[in-house]
Amino acid sequence: MQQVTFPVVGIIGAGAMGRGIAQIAAQAGSVVKLFDTRSEAVVEAVQAISGQWSRLQEKGRMTMEALAENKSRLIGANALSELSDCSLVVEAIVERIDIKKGLFAELEAIVGSQAVLATNTSSLSVTAIAADLKYPQRFAGFHFFNPVPLMKVVEVIAGLKTDPSVCDALTRFARQMGHTPVQAQDTPGFIVNHAGRGYGTEALRIVSEGVADFATIDRILKDQVGFRLGPFELMDLTALDVSHPVMESIYHQYYEEPRYRPSVITAQRLAGGVVGKKVGEGFYRYENGVPQVAPEPAAPLIAEMPPVWVSPRASRRAELLQLLKDLDARIETGSSPSPAALTVVAPLGFDVTTVAVVERLDPARTVGIDLLIDDAATKRRVLATNPATRVDMRDAAHALFARDGKAVSVIRDSGGFVTQRVVSTIVNIATDICQQRICSPQDLETAVTLGLGYPLGPLAMGDRYGPTNILEVLFNMQTVYGDPRYRPSPWLRRRGAIGLSLLHTEE
């Protein structure tokens, strides 16, 4: 084994996070001293980690020699003073800045002058925690994600006074532990929690407008984009007592930046204790850990399908016409629809109502389809009505687009449907992270794919669906809603305008 960067490591906090960090640090070759103010928690943690290693050995995933070495390197500390010989001390305790600052002030008087001090904070300022230290240059953020052995990304955060060599050493150590380090500036949410703001908050806004219910939005984003969990499934899993305070914290730390605006929906549910899967009820109700989800309504049965007329301004118009041919639709080719025709529009960012008014279409017969993503690349089609759409036209559109067996969701009018709104918000926030130079585009992509499990990094997602398209969606949504939340980041606006990849950096 190569020489480990930090031979003796102290971990403060014997909860799940502290246990995970202690486990991988010992496996990397460091002697690990685990301390908690509750001595019984330390005993339980050492036993739990040793038990995990024993199970790995029983399954043939760890040798007897490695098992013995790992166990010999894991030591329970009875007092903070026992960490005096540590070359690195990582704190993983409660997210309260006063308690963290007090702990590190005490540690400074215990450890050697060359020891590195690190906080695992997920939402507090690294600079603020280090503000009262005598040697803030040796202090940094070292943010892991639960469960630590499985979540293979770690954020290395430089405070305002952190010496670059400290971050370099933590980066090397992260790699020795089998993790992928990403370096971030000390900003609210760092990379992962910052980049993750768009997914849940925009889905909550869609619900708050009455566009669709929780299950429909989850289905759309999983089937159209490829997310493993829908936003409401994800919030149920993480629990609102964790996720809602993070939403509020980042929003307030950025001085009420509209892009990060939380929702009254989660605030109310948190107040009512309806926080997610762990209590059996969240956005879904759970029985034996299984969400109870109503089945989707079947496609309507239509006796006679009306002819279909497609707006000349529809996005992906040629593909839409080919799809309608494949579905055996009777397609009208005139300059305007006949009085009997189902009128189909496919806007980017605009709602169906706006398109019907601007194009002087009969809103009663007008239905929209989301074609941001190539139909062949999705498992679901999404249609939107407007307030005047007749029931027979809505049902005809649903039945027509479900003819080949592909799932169809019909939602109420929304600028940007569901997928356009959520994807564009994710991409916009990510590009602004790059604009602020919080991290490199490459570290952003790595952090999001490993830390959030997105099917693509947000910049690659923007490139796949077209920076120009994402830009159009945001501009048009800003027109529809009049909300600065949707103003495009300069990074996106400039690259989208001149056709550059969102991963492109200036020379």
> Which residues are designated catalytic?
122, 143, 155, 193
Q: Give the pair of three-digit tokens for residue 179.
A: 């993790």
Q: Give which of 446, 464, 476 is closest to 502, Cα–Cα.
A: 464
Q: Which secondary structure element, helix H or strand E, spans residue 111, and what is its range?
A: none
- CA 245 vs CA 177, 190, 275, 315: distances in Å: 30, 16, 12, 39
Starting at the earlier edge strand, list the strands of the sheet with 331-332. 331-332, 308-310, 342-345, 366-369, 380-384, 407-411
- Answer yes or no: are the C-beta atoms of 176 and 88 closer than 8 Å: no
Q: Give which of 369, 352, 460, 358 is closest to 409, Cα–Cα.
A: 369
- Answer yes or no: are the C-beta atoms of 9 and 88 closer than 8 Å: yes
- Answer yes or no: are the C-beta atoms of 342 and 319 closer than 8 Å: no
- Answer yes or no: are the C-beta atoms of 451 and 192 closer than 8 Å: yes
- Answer yes or no: are the C-beta atoms of 363 and 413 closer than 8 Å: no
Q: What gap in Å lies between CA 4 and CA 429, rounded to an integer?
A: 37
Backbone φ, ψ for residue 113 (5° rounding):
-65, -20
Q: What gap in Å lies between CA 240 and CA 246, rounded to an integer?
A: 9
